[in-house]
Amino acid sequence: MSHDMTKGNVFKTLFAFTVPLILSGLLQQLYYIVDSIIVGNLIGEVGLASVGVSSPVINIFIYTITGLVSGYTILISQFYGAKEYKKISMLSSTFFLFIMIAACIITIVGFIFKENILNLLHTPEVLLQSSNEYLSVIFLGIPFLILYNLCSSLLRGIGDSKTTLHAIIFSTVINIILDLVFIELFSWGIKGAAIATVIAQIFSCCFLVVYIYRKYPMFKLAIQKSYMDLTLFYESLKLSIPRVIQASIGVFGSLLLQGIMNSLGIDVVTAITTAYKIDTLTILPLMNISIAISVFVGQNIGANNMERSKEGLKKGIIISLIVSLAITTVVVLGGEQFMKIFGVSNKVAAMGQRFFNICAIFYPIYGIGNAYSAFLQGNKDVAFTAFNNVISLIFRVALSYALVKKLGFDVIAISEMCSWVLGAVISYVRYKAIYGNNKAYSNNVGN
C-alpha cells in the first residue's frame, strides 16, 4: 500500500517506510551472498574469487542504469506529494520504453566485451575462465534486473516499501533453493550459481509488474502515444545525467581500485572481495535510510513543506546513528567469523577482520554524510551530490595509488574511509549554506 509521507508523525512515518527498505536491501544482497557462500564451500576459493572479480564488470552497467533511474524516482516522489498522478503514469510509461531499449543494448555490449574488461582489470589467469562463464549467464538477466529496479523505484516514490520486500523474500527463497540444486545436485559449478540468480531476478521482476498492474491501475505502464510525455522524460534525464556521469567516473575509479587489489595477489583479491560482500551488507541499511530520507523529502517538497523535509532529515540522522553504531559493534566483534562462512582460509579471514577494524569506526560518519546527500537529492540538488561523489572518488583513487607501496593491503580500507569523511563534510557544508536558515525553499514540481 502506498503511503502519504506529507502527513502524520515524522519519525513514525519515516521509520515505517525505512524498515521494509532495509530488509529489502539486505535480502537483495543475499542473491550474491548465498552464491558466494555456496560457491566458496562447494567449489573453493578460486570460484569465490571469480565471482568477486566479476562484480566490478557487472557494476559498470548496473550503475549506469541506476543513475538513469535516480531522476525518475525524484520526480515520482514529488509528483505523488503534489497529487499529480497522471504525470506519474505518463513519466513511467515513457521511461519504461527507453530504459528497456537501454537494457537490451547493455546486455549485448556486456556479453561481447566482458572478457576484454576482465583482461583490462588484470584478472589473474586462473580466474579468467570461470569469471567469463559466470558473466555469460548474469548478463542475460540484466533486462529483468533493470525492469525490477524501475518498478521498485515507482513503488518507493509513492511510499510503498513493503511490496518490494515481499518480492525479494519470494525471489531469495527461489535463489537459495536453485543454488543448491544447480551446484550440489546438478554439478553445474559457477554457471549454476549464475543461472539461479537470473531465474530469481526474473521471478521478482514479474511479481512487481503484475502487482503494479493490479493494485495501481492509475500508474500502469502503457506503450501508447497518449501515455508518452517526452517533456517529463527530458526533465527526469536532466536530473539523472549528473548521476550517470558520476556512475561512469565511479566505474572507471572502481576499475583502477580493482587493478590495485589484483596486483597484490590472489589472497588479497579473495580477502577484499569477500570482505566487501559483508561490508556491502552492513552499510546497506545506511544506504536504504538515505533512500527513505530522499523520498520523504521529495514528497514534502512536492507538497511545498520544506520545514517538514528538514525535520525528516533530523529524524533520519538519528536512525542512521543508531543503526551505524549497531553495525560497528557487529563487524568488529564478528567480522572474521563472517568471513569464514564463505569457506576462506584463516589467513584470508584474518585479513578481512583487519579491513573491518579500520572501516567500522567510520560507519556513523558514512551514515550522516548519506543523510545530508539524500536531502539534497530529494530537493533536486543532484548535480552537486554527483560532483561531491566524484571528488570523493578521485581523492580515494589518488590516495590509494600514492600510498599502496607504503601501506600495502591497508590502503584499500584507509583510502575509502578518508573519502567518506570528505564526502560527509562537503554535503554538510552544502546543506548549511543553502538550507540551514529558516527560509522555506522549494522547487516547483514539473518546472
Q: Is residue 61 in a domain?
A: yes
pLDDT tens, position by position, 358-384: 888 888 998 999 999 989 988 888 889
Q: Residue 445: its pLDDT value, please?
A: 42
Comparing 117-131, 150-164, 279-293, 420-434, the range with the smallest average pLDDT is 117-131
Confidence of residue 194 (pLDDT cuts 50, 70, 90): confident
Tell whether the model's pLDDT for residue 276 goes beyond 90: no
Cell numbers placing 13: 512515518
Comparing CA positions, the residue from 149, 157, 74 lying closest to residue 381 is 74
Give the other-Cβ count within 10 Å of 175's Cβ.
26
Domain total of the chain: 1
Q: Residue 376: its pLDDT value, please?
A: 92
Structural domain harbouring 167: 10-435
Q: Residue 254: its pLDDT value, please?
A: 64
Q: Is residue 444 in a domain?
A: no
Q: Is residue 446 in a domain?
A: no
Q: What percent of the chain has pLDDT over 90?
A: 12
The C-alpha atoms of residue 413 and residue 354 are separated, in whole angstroms, by 9
Q: Is residue 263 in a domain?
A: yes
pLDDT tens, position by position, 16-69: 889 988 888 777 776 666 667 777 777 777 777 777 777 777 776 777 777 777
Grid-cell match 552492513, residue found:
282
Q: Is residue 63 in a domain?
A: yes
Q: Is residue 83 in a domain?
A: yes
Comparing CA positions, the residue from 217, 258, 226 lying closest to residue 397 is 258
Tell whether the model's pLDDT for residue 220 goes beyond 80: no
User: What predicted TM-score, i.e. pTM, was given to this entire model?
Assistant: 0.76
**H-type helices in 180-305, by residue range?**
189-215, 230-263, 266-302
pLDDT tens, position by position, 386-402: 888 889 888 888 888 88
Q: Is residue 441 in a domain?
A: no
Q: Is residue 440 in a domain?
A: no
